């Protein structure tokens, strides 16, 4: 197959051919760089493209593979990372103008691990300002490749757009309130938010330290699992990275859901959820049942208070992360991020402690659910394939973002792992996703469930016409 036909194939699939010397990593990288040059002027998914770095890494990978020194499934495969992840010598703006000239002197831990695994870094992907809800007013937001009038998701907007458009074989995103899951659902790709503490955050700009998760976005659950196997694990540079063994997430996948118990709270998942999102969710449950899963009714703890608490908690942590530049350089901030920081700065110590206590109680209630179920199934978001016109007020309209966060931020507050899978399309042509949520550090079960679903469905193999 010619390299021009490769851009929509899976990361692991292409990797196998590269590692078997059937494809040249240099030629594949050149093809991807040419595709970026051709399409990204319109899509604007990349903040920075690094062709020299990518071709240098590809040449090294080609020599190593030819010599029989294969490092694993990512070796020789072109990927990209969210702008907030440091890449040595490459600008790391964090979606902001303040940091646009900063060039880190080292790689983020996740980037170093990707490079050590032989992955080719094509560049840095665009994101919202500070990884919150809005793009900085001076930055052009990435476009949704399915329809440029549709929302591309936040804050890992460039990661979703580039992965869906075939401008990389996989990407890194981050998730603080839904920022892997929103763009995965909006762009029709698979996103894996690991357990908080599973992946080191060293060398990645903070939005909110106890809520931030770094994870993979790719074509499939298998591709996400392959990436997570590389980036996960303890890190002396980040002592919050938990020192548990890292499984091979793509080994011994059963291909079905036999023996798996999936919990569903149908009241919570249906109230306020539109018809298209509901249909995709119910269809996904039917597939899960056909694959051998037992679907059982649960009562999910009331998530309204913890969703409301997410805003001031995120604001407090963001204010700490930005204390060196805000308010001293307030005029250089966009209104959305500035508003979040102001909210955080208004909270008292008493307010903060009450939030912490409610968060811990909610975390315990969710943990208790996993004593009787293996996974929880929920929609990705209540409104399917929202338009840009509808989402224009996202950063400043608390009711709008509150509805959006309903199925996402509770699991940033608990630190639970989730996988977002493409499950259908809205009447306006936009992709729709759904989620499985797992026990802490049980990402292997999420990958297995996602893989089983994707073996019998083809939503993840559908791509925008570009």
**Looking at residue 3, what is its pLDDT?**
45
Preceding amide of 327 cis, omega within 30: yes
Among the listed residues 45, 155, 157, 229, the single catalytic one is: 155
**What SS3 class is residue 308?**
helix
Active site residue 200: no
Tens-digit pLDDT profile for residues 251-282: 999 999 999 999 999 999 998 899 999 999 99
**Looking at residue 392, what is its pLDDT?**
82
Active site residue 138: no
- Section 359-372 average pLDDT: 98
User: What's the predicted TM-score (pTM) here?
Assistant: 0.97
Closest CA to 38 of 452, 466, 439, 329: 466
Among the listed residues 24, 45, 82, 161, the single catalytic one is: 82
- Section 2-9 average pLDDT: 74
Q: What one-character-per-residue DSSP string does 136-199 give? A: -TTSPPPPPTT-TTB---SSSHHHHHHHHTTS-SEEEEEESSSTTHHHHHHHT-EEEEPPTTSB
- Mean pLDDT computed over every residue of the chain: 96
Among the listed residues 24, 161, 179, 229, the single catalytic one is: 179
Q: Would you state the structure tokens that stand for residue 272, as one six-digit string?
A: 């306020």
- For the cut 90, the answer to whether the pLDDT of residue 404 exceeds it is no
Helix axes 51-66, 11-19, angle to 10 degrees: 50
* Rounded (5°) CA angle 190-193-198: 135
Q: Could you give the count of Cα atoms lying within 13 Å of 274 in the half-sphere of its Cβ?
A: 16
Q: Would you state the structure tokens that stand for residue 325, as one six-digit string?
A: 């530049």
Q: Would you state the structure tokens that stand for residue 4, as one six-digit string?
A: 């021009």
Which domains are delineated in the chain? Answer: 3-258+385-461 (3.90.1300.10)
């Amino acid at each position: 197959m010619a390299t021009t036909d490769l851009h929509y194939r899976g990361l692991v699939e292409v990797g196998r051919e590269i590692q078997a010397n059937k494809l040249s990593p240099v030629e594949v990288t050149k093809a991807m760089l040419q595709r970026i040059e051709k399409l990204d002027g319109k899509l604007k998914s990349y903040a920075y493209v690094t062709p020299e770095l990518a071709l240098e890494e590809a040449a090294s990978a080609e020599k190593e593979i030819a010599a029989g020194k294969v490092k694993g499934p990512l070796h020789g495969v072109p990927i990209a990372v969210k702008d907030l992840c440091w890449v040595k010598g490459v600008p790391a703006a964090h979606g902001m103008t303040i940091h646009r000239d900063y060039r880190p002197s080292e790689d983020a831990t996740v980037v170093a691990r990707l490079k050590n695994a032989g992955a080719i870094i094509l560049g840095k992907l665009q994101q919202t300002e500070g990884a919150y809800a809005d793009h900085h007013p001076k930055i052009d937001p990435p476009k949704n490749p399915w329809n440029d009038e549709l929302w591309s998701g936040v804050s890992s907007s460039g990661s979703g757009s580039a992965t869906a458009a075939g401008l990389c074989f996989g990407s890194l995103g981050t998730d603080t309130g839904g920022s892997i899951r929103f763009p995965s659902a909006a762009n029709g790709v698979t996103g894996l938010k690991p357990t908080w503490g599973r992946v080191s955050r060293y060398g990645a700009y903070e939005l909110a330290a106890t809520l931030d998760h770094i994870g993979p976005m790719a074509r499939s659950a298998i591709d996400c699992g392959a990436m997570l196997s590389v980036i996960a694990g303890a890190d002396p540079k980040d002592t919050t990275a938990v020192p548990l063994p890292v499984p091979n997430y793509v080994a011994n996948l059963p291909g079905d859901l036999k023996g798996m118990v999936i919990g569903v709270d149908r009241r919570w998942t249906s109230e306020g959820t539109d018809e298209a999102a509901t249909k995709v969710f119910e269809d996904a449950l039917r597939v899960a049942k056909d694959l051998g899963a037992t679907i059982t009714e649960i009562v999910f703890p009331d998530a309204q208070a913890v969703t409301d608490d997410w805003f001031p908690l995120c604001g407090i942590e963001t204010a700490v992360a930005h204390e060196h530049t805000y308010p001293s350089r307030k005029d250089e901030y966009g209104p959305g991020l500035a508003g979040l920081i102001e909210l955080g700065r208004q909270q008292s110590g008493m307010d903060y402690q009450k939030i912490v206590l409610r968060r811990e109680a909610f975390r315990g209630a969710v943990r208790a659910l996993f004593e009787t179920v293996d996974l929880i199934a929920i929609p990705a978001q209540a409104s399917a394939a929202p338009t840009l016109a509808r989402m224009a007020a996202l950063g400043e309209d608390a009711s709008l973002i509150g509805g959006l966060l309903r199925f996402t931020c509770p699991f940033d507050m608990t630190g639970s792992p989730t996988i977002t899978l493409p499950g259908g399309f809205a009447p306006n042509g936009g992709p729709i996703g759904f989620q499985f949520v797992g026990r802490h550090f049980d990402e292997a079960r999420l990958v297995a469930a996602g893989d089983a679903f994707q073996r019998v469905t083809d939503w993840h193999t559908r791509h925008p016409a570009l």
